[in-house]
Structure 1
Amino acid sequence: MKDTVTPPLVSAAFSLSRRRACQLGLSALFTGLAPNIARAKSHQKRTPQPERFLDLYNTHTDERLKAVYWADGNYIPEVLSHMNQLLRDHRTDEVTSIAPALLDFLHAIGQRVEARYPFHIVSGYRSPATNASLRKRSKGVAKHSRHMYGQAIDFYLPGCDLAVVRRAAVKARRGGVGYYPRSNFIHVDTGRVRAWGASQSKRA
């Protein structure tokens, strides 16, 4: 690169003018960079979000899965696939995609009660045929149950009082919460935030 030499007879006014222009140019340059630098610093300061982990046990098939299903801001497809399999309709062996928001609901409950044991799954996905069959035997089964869409789970947590789990689920405010102490399970789904207890006739 060639050096630029200032002619010896250049006026002082011109030199100052050029210096001022350079200063203004640098000022504009740094002003333009400032937002980018601020964004970079903001990004560096961001606290990484903790991983989301679930420990699930299917009471009908005796299968268990302990895994991180969300990390680095993303769900992990392979793990979700394994969870879909574990939460399948055990009567027909049919599998569907379980709503990630439902898994997050369970995770939130587990965090609140500091669960030490796996979630014992009583009912995950239900095929339409299974749901229809259950409806014939129980008035508590909804015709369009969210179980048929991978949006509901019935479970209990060993070593944790069912009423405590219910309170944690309600406080999480992630969807519907049903309390069935006689049958010893909690129902959660991804519908609107609501709750019902043993004395109410809400269907799941």
Structure 2
Amino acid sequence: MKTDEDNTIASRRQFLKKLAWGSLMALSGSEAATAAVRHVIYPHRRGHSHEPAHPAYSHARKARPYVNTQPVLSPYLHAVEHKTLAFEHTHTGDKLKLTYFEHGRYIEEALREINYLLRDFRTDDVHPIDTALLDQLFFLKQTLGVNKPFHIISGYRSPFTNSWLRRFSHGVAEHSFHMQGRAIDIRLEGVSSKTIRNAALTLAQGGVGYYPRDNFVHLDTGRFRTW
């Protein structure tokens, strides 16, 4: 009899097979899709979370289906030919490096891979990530002058996970932008969180939260504000 872990692995392998096939297809005649992926690693087992486990998560393993949305171009991207980002998820061990914008358009298959990596790692729910958030990360990388992967502490959070986290921390907002795919918590190897925060402030885009105790910076696509 297959276990929940076996089903999760099988589902992930099926997802990756479909993704690999989709990456070979040109989008609307563009060659951008076939050139999007540079490097991707999805371990077959989930990484260990640094946060306390809770038995309630056993009832939330059914992944929400991917909802495709038509991305809106950021005005900052019109002057840039292509945009590349690299990620490393601290909880799952997933690694990804790709070009998500090229030849004046976002690359759908690249966005799907990013959505998967930034999924709710506790429930495996996948949600579209705001392309404006990806742009913030790209321009933050440019401002810092680094090509290192962003270490992901938290990307998308399902309502279930957000509600659960609020039981342990007053710092988790009831209507968090994480639940909309509009927020991310990050680190950069060899770069202090204070330096990341200061660079993000110079961009004056969205929310910038500084958490020196836990060594990470929060970014979101809400109105410009800091804490």
Give me the TM-score of the superposition, normalised by structure 1.
0.72
The aligned residue for residue 49 of structure 1 is: 80
- What is the total number of aligned residue pairs between the two structures? 150
Deviation at 1:49, TM superposition (A): 2.6
The question of 1:107 aligning with 2:132 is answered no
Equivalence for 1:164 = 195
Matched, 1:124 2:193: no
1:188-203 paired onto structure 2 within 5 Å: 188-196=219-227
Structure 1 position 79 matched with structure 2 position 107:
no
What is the CA deviation profile of residues 72-128 of structure 1, one whole-angstrom value per residue up to 9, with x for unaligned ones?
110000000000000000000000000000000000110011123210000000000
Letter in 2 for 1:86: L
CA distance in structure 1 between the aligned counterparts of 2:176 and 2:80, rounded to whole angstroms:
33
Q: Which has the higher helix share?
A: 1
Corresponding residue SS for 1:98 = coil
1:59 corresponds to which residue? 90
Cα RMSD after superposing both structures: 1.2
How far apart are 1:52 and its partner, in Å?
0.7
Task: Report the counterpart of residue 155 of structure 1 in structure 2.
Answer: 186
Pick from 206, 217, 221 the counterpart of residue 186 of structure 1: 217
Query: Is the Cα contact below 8 Å between 2:204 and 2:224 reproduced in 1?
Result: yes
Unaligned runs of 5+ in 1: 1-46, 197-204
1:162 deviates by: 1.2
Mark the CA change 1:85 to 1:169 in structure 2 (over 3 Å): closer, same or farther.
same
Q: Secondary structure at the match of 1:65?
A: strand
Matched with 1:3 is none
Distance in 2, matches of 1:166 and 1:103, equals: 16
| TM-fit CA distance, 1:48 | 6.5
Distance in 2 (alpha carbons) for counterparts of 1:101 and 1:48: 15
State TM-score, norm by structure 2: 0.65
Runs of 4+ in 1 over 4 A off after TM superposition: none
Percent pairwise identity: 51
Separation in 1, partners of 2:147, 2:189:
9
